[in-house]
Amino acid sequence: MGLLQKLASIFNPPPKPDRYYEFTVRCHRCGELITGRADLHNELSVDYGEDGKLENYFVRKVVMGEERCFQRIEVELFFDKNRNLINKEIQGGLFVEESTPPQD
């Protein structure tokens, strides 16, 4: 215990990417904003390339609003090997881009 240990605690490992990918969509039918999230640890399916090598990941989510509109919104998210989002598709709604953070 001493200086070395203190120094080690300063150099924390870099933060890991978020486990959850969160998204916001707007329902085509009623305009409700709906948020959903994908669990990048448990919900990703592997998309193998033609030669059987690991290529990418994808996840399909179906979200529905809480109001009396039963429009199902299908979201497909595609990630690379490092679980970085590379593409996304939606049916039944529109993606809402991240809004600027609230300012106080």
Residues making contact with Zn ion (CB under 5 A): 27, 29-30, 32, 65, 69, 71
Within the chain, what is the greatest distance between any pair of CA atoms? Answer: 63
53 vs 68, which CB is nearer to Zn ion?
A: 68
Name the one residue in this structure whose structure tokens are 């990703």.
Answer: 44
- Helix, strand, or coil here: 56? strand
Phi, psi of 7 (to 5 degrees): -60, -40
Q: Report the candidate in 50, 34, 35, 45 with the shortest Cα–Cα distance to residue 83.
A: 45
Q: Are 54 and 68 in contact (CB under 8 A)?
A: no
C-beta of 44: minimal distance to Zn ion in Å? 27
40 vs 61, which CB is nearer to Zn ion?
A: 61
23 vs 65, which CB is nearer to Zn ion?
A: 65
C-beta of 69: minimal distance to Zn ion in Å? 3
C-beta of 91: minimal distance to Zn ion in Å? 13
C-beta of 25: minimal distance to Zn ion in Å? 10
56 vs 71, which CB is nearer to Zn ion?
A: 71
